[in-house]
């Protein structure tokens, strides 16, 4: 029967969908058109999708030929009364008030079909259940078996069968321990029964780690899980073995690497630290903590401002922020005050990333470059001395000739004049000052001269004794007590005796001047075995050298007295040509102590000095 639906709402959509998916043969109903004034009505749109005729005016739809049924779904009683007057007797009207009978009929068929389908589906599920479960069971890579209350295997997956080298039908009905008897997973029957009994009593899984005996040492994670029936009772026990040998070895390797990294970080003399994106420390090695009088754990979870001095923490935060902003490693030169002394650090800061390359914080590696900076300063000083030496040589040669002429003329005039002549005193002053200038020029030439010393193998104690023989005759040492502490066994040195003697004499005379010719001088020698260095020390009981002058005393022309200021500079050059160094410090007595550090000399013909 051809039908028209008037009212294209949800009810229309439901009827069209049911008739399309499950046609009712008893009614033989064919909807050919849908009428609604709203083109967006759900049933109206669905009719268009199905290719049915759609109308906005029901009167146009009634003109269709062979229409036998009108299904009215508007819910408007007034419209129904008007519609009845317009329909011919051949056309049947199903009003909205009785349309539910039509739906009930359709729903009854649908429910019946649904039950039939459900029954077929259940039969199929029951039929496929064993195959499905077996497929899942066999898909496990772990070894797995199911055992009943008698500790007998009821199911075994493919991995287990392959492991024991048996088919499932050969395994069913046997105990687990019986099947595993000749494998690395051999188990104790009593222990297995105790485990199963525990599961039946507690209804809880049981976990354990099994380690097979050497030499085939393997590790297994074993899980015994209860399987319940519909009443909640344990009916079966599922046991699976998960091999974790590779995981255990990997964990050991990771732990070893972590221990190596920890050992490296904890024993590194460089400063190493890590922070998260919040600026909180997540790692600090002991050398940093010790520098600030703390322990590494005192830093963890805290920010720089919580554990570091304000100036340092401000620098750290500023540089970390720059690294995070640029996403690149940055090298900084930072000055840090430690124990009242400035230390120069070269800080490498770079972004800390995870395995996916995402930035998760910052890492800092810092090296104390204080010694390097000081060495560089000494190198600069040496270069300056060399430059000044060349300059001094040129100046000295230019001055020396006029001085010689002045001295010659002055001595000649003095000889020609009577000894009691009034000018003799003035001429004597000219001669004295000219000689003083000549001494200054000679010192300049000695300072600038780059000749090769006349080296010889000599006992440093011999040079000291010779130097002492010279100063003891000088009047400025008559009120000075000189103590001598010479090492009995000390290697020889390779040196120019006169030049080393000149340096020692310079130190002794400077010491006498500093003490105003009254006090005590200690001159000593010793040997530093590990460094293979011979040390000659001159210590006085004078006022010492001010801290701010320590770095300047070896500069040419620097002097706190009315002298040329070349003595120490010349001494520095002499010792440097001997491949040695000069160290100066404040002695325990408060005076100054100068140390000449020279390399010890050993014969190469198997005649080494044993000390």
Q: Span 268-368: which CATH code?
A: 3.30.450.20
Domains 374-448 and 456-601 in one fold: no
CA distance 545 to 562: 17
Q: Return the pLDDT at 299.
A: 94
Residue 554 above 60 pLDDT? Answer: yes
pLDDT tens, position by position, 314-324 = 999 999 999 99
Q: What count of Cα atoms within 13 Å lies in the side-chain half-sphere of residue 170? A: 11
Residue 443 above 80 pLDDT? Answer: no
Q: Return the pLDDT at 326.
A: 92
pLDDT tens, position by position, 486-500 = 998 899 999 988 889
Q: Return the pLDDT at 587.
A: 86
Residue 450 above 80 pLDDT? Answer: no
- Rounded to the nearest 5°, which phi and psi values hold at 42? -60, -50
Residue 608 above 60 pLDDT? Answer: no
**CB of 69 closer than 8 Å to CB of 29:** yes
pLDDT confidence tier of residue 107, bands split at 50, 70 and 90: low
Within 281-354, where are the H helices? 286-291, 304-307, 310-326
By mean pLDDT, which of 115-129, 244-258, 280-294 is the weakest? 115-129
**Range picked from 85-89, 96-100, 180-184, 284-288 for highest mean pLDDT:** 284-288
Beta bridge partners of 156: 145
| Whole-number average pLDDT of the chain | 84
Residue 451 above 60 pLDDT? Answer: no
Instruction: Check residues 231 and 387 and name the one with the higher pLDDT.
Output: 231
DSSP 497-517: HHHHHHHHHHHHHHHHHHTTT
CA distance 11 to 42: 9
pLDDT confidence tier of residue 567, bands split at 50, 70 and 90: low
**For residues 364-382, average pLDDT:** 77
Q: Span 140-248: which CATH code?
A: 3.30.450.20
Residue 553: Cβ-neighbour burial (10 angstroms; 0-12, 13-18, 19+): buried
Entry field: residues in the chain: 611
Query: CA separation (Å) from 432 to 226, 411, 559, 563?
Result: 117, 11, 21, 15
By mean pLDDT, which of 166-180, 354-368, 440-454, 539-553 is the weakest? 440-454
Geometric angle at alpha carbon 476, from 470 and 477, rounded to 5°: 60
pLDDT confidence tier of residue 607, bands split at 50, 70 and 90: very low
Does domain 456-601 correspond to CATH entry 3.30.565.10?
A: yes
Q: Which of 398, 442, 437, 384 is nearest to 573 (CA)?
A: 384
Q: For 374-448, which CATH class?
A: mainly alpha
Q: Which of 276, 279, 430 is nearest to 359 (CA)?
A: 276
By mean pLDDT, which of 126-130, 289-293, 562-566 is the weakest? 562-566
Residue 558 above 90 pLDDT? Answer: no
Q: Dihedral of the CA atoms 528, 531, 534, 540 (nearest 10)?
A: -70
Place of tokens 């560089």: 376
Please list, residue by residue across 272-301, b when 16 or more beta carbons sit within 10 angstroms of its beta carbon and e when fewer do: bbbbeeebbbbbbbebbbeeeeeebeebee
pLDDT confidence tier of residue 444, bands split at 50, 70 and 90: low
Q: Span 2-110: which CATH code?
A: 3.40.50.720
Q: Return the pLDDT at 435.
A: 83
**CB of 8 closer than 8 Å to CB of 35:** yes
Place of tokens 């319940």: 228
Helix and strand numbers, DSSP H then E, in the chain: 18, 22
Geometric angle at alpha carbon 556, from 551 and 562, rounded to 5°: 100
Q: Which of 502, 499, 494, 491 is nearest to 461 (CA)?
A: 491
Record the tokens describing residue 470, joined without a space.
């010279």
- Domain spans in the chain, listed from the N-terminal domain onward: 2-110, 140-248, 268-368, 374-448, 456-601
Residue 26 above 70 pLDDT? Answer: no
Q: Which of 226, 223, 221, 180 is nearest to 204 (CA)?
A: 226
C-alpha 224: how far from its chain's center? 42
CB atoms within 10 A of CB 347: 20
pLDDT tens, position by position, 50-99 = 999 999 998 898 889 989 889 888 888 888 888 888 888 888 888 876 66
pLDDT confidence tier of residue 399, bands split at 50, 70 and 90: confident
Instruction: Please report the sign of the dihedral spanned by the C-alpha atoms of residue 64, residue 65, residue 71, residue 76.
Output: positive
CA distance 51 to 29: 17
Residue 424: Cβ-neighbour burial (10 angstroms; 0-12, 13-18, 19+): middle
Q: Return the pLDDT at 419.
A: 84
C-alpha 315: how far from its chain's center? 19
Q: Return the pLDDT at 414.
A: 87
Q: Return the pLDDT at 143.
A: 92
**CB of 286 closer than 8 Å to CB of 296:** yes
Q: Return the pLDDT at 544.
A: 85
**For residues 161-168, average pLDDT:** 91
Q: Return the pLDDT at 38.
A: 92
Q: What are the E-state strand segments in 185-268?
A: 206-211, 219-228, 234-243
**For residues 124-139, average pLDDT:** 76
Q: Return the pLDDT at 260.
A: 87
Q: Return the pLDDT at 520.
A: 93
Instruction: Check residues 604 and 511 and name the one with the higher pLDDT.
Output: 511
pLDDT confidence tier of residue 522, bands split at 50, 70 and 90: very high
Q: Return the pLDDT at 590.
A: 86
């Amino acid at each position: 029967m051809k039908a028209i639906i008037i009212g294209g709402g949800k009810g229309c959509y439901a009827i069209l969908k049911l008739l399309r998916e499950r046609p009712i043969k008893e009614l033989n109903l064919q909807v050919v058109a849908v009428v609604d004034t709203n083109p967006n009505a759900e049933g109206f749109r669905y009719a268009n999708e199905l290719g049915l005729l759609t109308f906005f005016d029901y009167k146009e739809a009634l003109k269709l030929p062979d229409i036998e049924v009108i299904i009215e779904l508007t819910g408007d009683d007034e419209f129904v009364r008007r519609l009845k007057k317009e329909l011919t007797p051949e056309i049947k009207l199903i009003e909205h008030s009785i349309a539910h009978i039509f739906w009930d009929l359709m729903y009854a068929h649908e429910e019946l079909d649904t039950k039939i389908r459900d029954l077929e589906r259940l039969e199929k599920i029951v039929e496929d259940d064993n195959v499905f479960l077996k497929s899942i069971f066999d898909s496990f890579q772990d070894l797995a078996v199911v055992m009943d209350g008698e500790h007998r295997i009821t199911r075994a997956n493919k991995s287990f069968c392959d492991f024991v080298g048996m088919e499932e039908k050969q395994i069913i009905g046997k105990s687990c321990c019986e099947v595993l008897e000749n494998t690395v997973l051999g188990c104790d029957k009593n222990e297995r029964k105790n485990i199963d009994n525990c599961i039946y009593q507690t209804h809880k899984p049981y976990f354990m780690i099994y380690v097979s005996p050497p030499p085939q040492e393997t590790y297994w994670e074993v899980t015994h899980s209860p399987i319940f029936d519909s009443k909640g009772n344990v009916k079966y026990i599922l046991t699976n073995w998960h091999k974790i040998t590779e995981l255990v070895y990997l964990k050991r390797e990771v732990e070893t690497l972590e221990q190596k990294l920890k050992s490296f970080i904890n024993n590194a003399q460089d400063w190493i630290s890590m922070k998260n994106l919040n600026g909180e420390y997540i790692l600090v090695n002991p050398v940093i903590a010790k520098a600030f009088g703390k322990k590494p754990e005192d830093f963890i979870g805290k920010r720089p401002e919580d554990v570091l001095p304000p100036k340092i923490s401000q620098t750290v935060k500023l540089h970390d922020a720059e690294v995070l902003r640029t996403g690149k490693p940055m090298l900084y030169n930072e000055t840090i005050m430690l124990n009242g002394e400035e230390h120069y650090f070269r800080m490498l800061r770079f972004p800390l990333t995870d395995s996916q390359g995402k930035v998760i914080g910052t890492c800092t590696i810092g090296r104390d470059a204080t010694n390097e900076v000081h060495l560089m300063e000494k190198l600069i000083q040496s270069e300056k001395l060399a430059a000044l030496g060349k300059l001094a040589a040129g100046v000295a040669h230019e001055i020396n000739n006029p001085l010689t002429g002045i001295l010659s003329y002055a001595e000649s005039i003095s000889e020609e004049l009577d000894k009691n002549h009034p000018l003799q005193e003035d001429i004597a002053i000219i001669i004295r000052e000219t000689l003083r200038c000549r001494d200054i020029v000679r010192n300049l030439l000695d300072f600038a001269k780059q000749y090769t010393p006349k080296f010889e193998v000599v006992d440093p104690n011999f040079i000291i004794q010779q130097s002492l023989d010279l100063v003891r005759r000088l009047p400025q040492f008559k009120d000075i007590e000189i103590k001598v502490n010479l090492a009995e066994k000390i290697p020889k040195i390779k040196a120019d005796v006169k030049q080393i003697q000149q340096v020692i004499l310079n130190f002794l005379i400077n010491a006498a001047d500093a003490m105003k010719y009254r006090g005590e001088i200690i001159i000593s020698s010793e040997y530093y075995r590990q460094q293979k260095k011979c040390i000659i020390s001159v210590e006085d009981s004078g006022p010492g050298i001010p801290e701010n002058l320590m770095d300047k005393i070896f500069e040419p022309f620097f002097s706190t007295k009315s002298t040329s200021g070349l003595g120490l500079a010349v001494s520095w050059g002499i010792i440097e040509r001997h491949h040695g160094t000069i160290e100066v410090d404040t002695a325990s007595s408060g005076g100054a102590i100068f140390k000449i550090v020279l390399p010890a000399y050993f014969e190469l013909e198997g005649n080494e000095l044993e000390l």
